[in-house]
Amino acid sequence: MDLILIISNLVKIFIISLLIYFVYAKIINFNNHYKCRTIFICILSINISIIYLILTHTFQPLTAILILYILYGLIIISIKVENRIYYRIIAYSISYIIVYLIYVIATMISGVLLWIFGENTNAKNPISFIIIPCITFLLYYILFKVKRFKSGFNFLKGTKINKHIIIFIFIICGIVTSLYVFFQNKNKFLFNIILIVESIVVTILLIIWIKSQITKTYKNKMRDRTIEMQKAEIDEKEKIIEEIKAENLKFANTIHKYNHKFESLEFAMKNALKLDSKEEFANEIAVILEESKNTAKNFAKETKVDTRKIPLTNINGIDTMFKYMQEEAIKNNIQFDLKINANINSLINEIIPKEKFETLIGDHIKDAIIAINSNNKTYKSILVTLGLVDGIYEFSVYDTGIEFKIDTLLKLGIEQVTTHKEEGGSGIGFMTTFKTLKECKASLVIEEYNPETTNYTKAITIRFDGKNEYKIYSYRAEKIKEQKGKRRIIIKRIK
């Protein structure tokens, strides 16, 4: 055998063997003792290359490759990992197909590059010994830089999917074997053309199949996650129902306890009315009034409801922030209400970092407290809503404070402006808000209500809709439009 051809085969088998293990390790997400394993696999790949050359003296190349990679597969699969044996067999088979396709594509690209630079495209060209391995490893690197492949092919773990994989592997192996047997004694040029076309078709099919399986697995995970979230919501509601039942039972027992006491006071009052002496009547009434006062006081104490209790998101930090802002509102004699209508785990995990959402909560509720303290209204209230509106997460703060100056509305997010400078407002809050909205692609909606028709004067809403818009819905929309300088604000009239 020609020395250059021997070197070519040695390089080819070494690269393919090495990459099969790397792809296999990526697929099963196997990282333990990676460096030690790599040294072992390099030595093994060199031995596999030498064994291939020995086998080709006795067997046809395809037969030699089949024997070689069955033996290599047994060694690779025998490396102990957490995955079950059938999953390792499938992972190894997929690794072989992927590496085969990568190598064929690398060879094609190498041939094109050599042709462009006027070099000999023959397989014996020494330059191809350098170009092909470089392109092969580059393609491998690009493939596993894909985010969804970094943690392995998790979609291979499904039993039903594995049956499809086995069929898929046998079809590909069957196509390659059939082509080789049919064309081995015929036109090699035609065989190479068909092999290239077959490789392209298989690559496209493999990409489509992997993408569809990843999408399917992702959807299944999302479904399972949704079920878990709904189950958590149901559990939370059941917990609330149990608390209400316990509270009702407590009220029932308290009412039963004081029922006879009130009846006895009624009886005492009727007897007092029958007394002839004014002095006796006065003494008796004094005793009854004192007894009634003590009874009413004790009854009120035992039936008192904790109005300061607010709903929870069950996310540390966010719940703490809500409780803190409630305490701040109470200190300023402001009624504080919080309404939560959905689980917000997806919002925190996928849309906005928890720390930034905590800042939004603190900034806008604090602004509402300052706005209310700047107002002379007797009714002081803050209503905070959090949850899903038309399938989109929203966070809103309603308050009864003073409204924005129009100039402030127009400069929000551009300059550090505030309507409440004298009361401690700095304008930093809205600058931070606009920065966060840009990062999360969320929209800011400011609603202003006519103070003559509603208690709440305005609402600040953060809508996580992926649009990053700034909207003002106001009863004084025309006045705002008159002063509007830039088109960055969407302004609409509201009643």
Closest Cα to residue 401, out of 425, 369, 354, 441? 369
Taking Cα atoms as reference points, which of 435, 440, 324, 474 lies closest to residue 384? 324
Query: What is the structure's pLDDT at 375?
Result: 83
The one-letter code for the residue type at 69 is Y
Place of tokens 């069929």: 167
Q: Are 295 and 336 in contact (CB under 8 A)?
A: no
pLDDT at residue number 444: 94
Measure the CA–CA gap between 412 and 417, rounded to whole angstroms. Answer: 7
pLDDT tens per residue, range 45-104 = 888 888 888 887 777 776 777 788 788 888 877 776 656 676 777 777 778 878 877 887
**At 173, is the pLDDT very low, low, confident or very high (cuts 50, 70, 90)?**
low
Tokens of 123: 């397989």
322 pLDDT band, cuts 50/70/90, is very high
Q: What is the pLDDT of residue 156?
A: 60
Token pair in block for residue 39: 């040294």
Using alpha carbons only, what angle is made at residue 95 by residues 93 and 96, rounded to the nearest 5 degrees? 65
- Supply the pLDDT for residue 329: 92
Rounded distance between C-alpha atoms, residue 362 and residue 385, angstroms? 14
pLDDT of 445 reads: 93
pTM recorded for the entire structure: 0.44
Average pLDDT, integer, range 442-462: 89
Interval 190-204 mean pLDDT: 63
* pLDDT of the residue at 181: 46
Is 162's pLDDT higher than 60? no
pLDDT of amino acid 356: 93
Is the Cβ–Cβ distance between 477 and 491 less than 8 Å? yes
Q: What is the mean pLDDT of residues 411-419?
A: 74
Dihedral angle of Cα 282, 284, 285, 287, to the nearest 10 degrees: 120
pLDDT of amino acid 394: 93
What is the Cβ-side half-sphere exposure of residue 86, based on CA atoms within 13 angstroms? 10
- Cβ neighbours of residue 176 under 8 Å, at least 6 residues apart? 198
Whole-angstrom distance, CA of residue 398 vs CA of residue 315: 23
Hey, what long-range contacts does 153-162 have (CB within 8 A, 24 or more apart)? 153/27, 153/91, 153/94, 153/210, 154/217, 155/210, 155/213, 155/214, 155/216, 155/217, 156/27, 156/87, 156/90, 156/91, 156/94, 156/213, 157/87, 158/217, 161/213, 162/86, 162/87, 162/90
pLDDT reading at 395 higher than 90: yes
Name the residue among 254, 27, 36, 239 with its Cα closest to residue 140.
27
Say whether pLDDT at 342 is over 60: yes
Q: Report residue 185's pLDDT band, with 50, 70 and 90 as the boundaries.
A: very low
Domain ranges of the chain: 3-228, 230-302, 318-493
Q: How confident is the model at residue 171 (pLDDT cuts 50, 70, 90)?
A: low
User: Positive or negative, the Cα torsion across 53, 54, 57, 63?
Assistant: negative
CB 324 within 8 A of CB 384: no
Name which of 50-59, 160-169, 280-289, 377-386 the model is least confident about: 160-169
Q: Report the Cα 265 to chain-centroid distance in Å.
A: 63
Confidence of residue 124 (pLDDT cuts 50, 70, 90): low
CA 481/CA 474 separation, integer angstroms? 11
The proportion of the chain whose per-residue pLDDT surpasses 70, expressed as a percent, equals 64
User: Could you tell me which residues come within 8 angstroms of residue 449 by beta carbon, excluding any fewer than 6 positions away?
Assistant: 456, 457, 458, 459, 475, 494
108-122, 147-161, 398-412: the lowest-pLDDT one = 147-161
Residue 136 has what pLDDT?
A: 83
Give CA–CA dist 81/70, Å, rounded. Answer: 19
- Cβ atoms of 347 and 393 within 8 Å: the answer is yes
Higher pLDDT, 160 or 13: 13
Residue 436 confidence (pLDDT): 93
**318-493 CATH, one of 3.30.565.10, 3.40.50.720, 1.10.760.10, 1.20.950.20:** 3.30.565.10
Has residue 381 got a pLDDT over 80?
yes
- The sign of the dihedral angle between the CA atoms of 321, 325, 331, 335 is negative
- Nearest Cα to 172, choosing from 219, 209, 128, 139? 209
Residue 351 has pLDDT above 70, yes or no: yes
Q: 448 pLDDT exceeds 80? A: yes
Q: Give the 3-state DSSP-derived string for 20-88, with helices as H, strands as E and coil as C.
A: HHHHHHHHCCCCCCHHHHHHHHHHHHHHHHHHHHHHCCCCCHHHHHHHHHHHHHHHHHHCCCCCCHHHH
Better pLDDT: 486 or 248 = 248
Section 444-469 average pLDDT: 89
Across the range 345-364, mean pLDDT stands at 92
From CA 468, how far away is CA 462, in angstroms rounded? Answer: 10
Statement: residue 315 has pLDDT above 70 = yes
Question: Is-contact 81 88, C-beta < 8 A?
Answer: yes
The CA distance from 448 to 457, in Å, is 6
Q: Among the listed ranges 45-54, 88-97, 134-143, 334-343, which one has the minimum average pLDDT value?
A: 88-97
For the segment 110-135, the average pLDDT, to the nearest whole number, is: 75
Q: Is the pLDDT confidence value at 144 over 60? A: yes
Least confident of 331-345, 383-397, 402-416: 402-416
pLDDT at residue 397 tops 90: yes
